[in-house]
Structure 1
């Protein structure tokens, strides 16, 4: 029992250390972005008083929409294609995004000019395109509950929205575009 308790405490300490390190990295990233960001970009983030008042007025007045006469049938595929991730995705601010990609572009251009001087510009360009393709493809496994684009790999072979199925194609041919609402 003592060994399990010791193991649990060590695991909890390790998790706390990891969380603290993540928080410190996020704080230092924010400080760095705030330091680098020009003043006029910082001012763009802060809404003016007029905009806040307009937003408050819009929120306080209810919007009455007319009820729809034709209800769309609930489709099982639309429910399954909306993936709710267990791990919330962290959205980066647009300032951080702009600064990060500006630095990446500057580094790439510098290296490209260097390789052009060495007369290996085309080779560098091809390798950088291949690396870009590799980095933009997902290499991690699917998250729990995430739907695959290939219906064969999904539970109950459920397809995602926008997939042309044989049944849908038959209905469109037999009944026209209006046959889709049946």
Structure 2
């Protein structure tokens, strides 16, 4: 029984630590974004929809609930879930603009520096290759996510908008109106 209690307490401490760290990071990010955004953009924020704020508050309340009694298997599974937890949060438009502005200014500064060294073309090609690599996902698919390649999906189900041979054949035989 003590082992279960110890395991539960360790899980609860880990969850609290993760939540506290996320809150600190969010506050720091907001401070940086507020510092770097121009005043006319700050005025635009006042007109945002209040429903978004309510949804965010409700979501935070749900995440703070901690169950009181758990079985050993559930504790072990939750420990593994907490360790592999990746929350995908949507960025605010201010943070997005600020982040990409900083990236662009940094890239432009380095490009000008390499132009002076007469390696501008090399820098441009390498930065394009790095951009292509960074924009491709190498992580595994999320649960329930469909692949663009139907052979990797369950029952070979294709995504919407895929041109199949059967559809192409119907269009040729009966015209484009035959396809729904």
On whether the aligned pair clears a TM of 0.5, the verdict is yes
Is the helix fraction higher in 1 or 2? 2
Q: What's 1:131 paired with? A: 130
Q: Which has the higher contact order (CA 8 A, sep 6+)?
A: 1
C-alpha RMSD of matched pairs (Å): 2.1
Instruction: Structure 2: give runs of 5+ residues left out of the alignment.
Output: 51-85
1:80-136 CA deviation, whole Å, 9 max, x = no partner? Answer: xxxxxxx77411111111111111111111111222222222221121111101000
User: Normalization by structure 1: what TM-score?
Assistant: 0.73
Q: Which structure 1 residue ranges, 4+ long, deviate > 4 Å from structure 2?
A: none
Q: What's 1:145 paired with? A: 144
Q: What's 1:92 paired with? A: 91
| Alignment length (residue pairs) | 145
Instruction: Structure 1: give runs of 5+ residues left out of the alignment.
Output: 53-86
Write the distance in 1 (CA, Å) between the matches of 2:179 and 2:110.
54
Q: What's 2:108 paired with? A: 109
Q: What's 1:120 paired with? A: 119
SS in 1 for 2:10: helix
Write the distance in 2 (CA, Å) between the matches of 1:7 and 1:126.
52
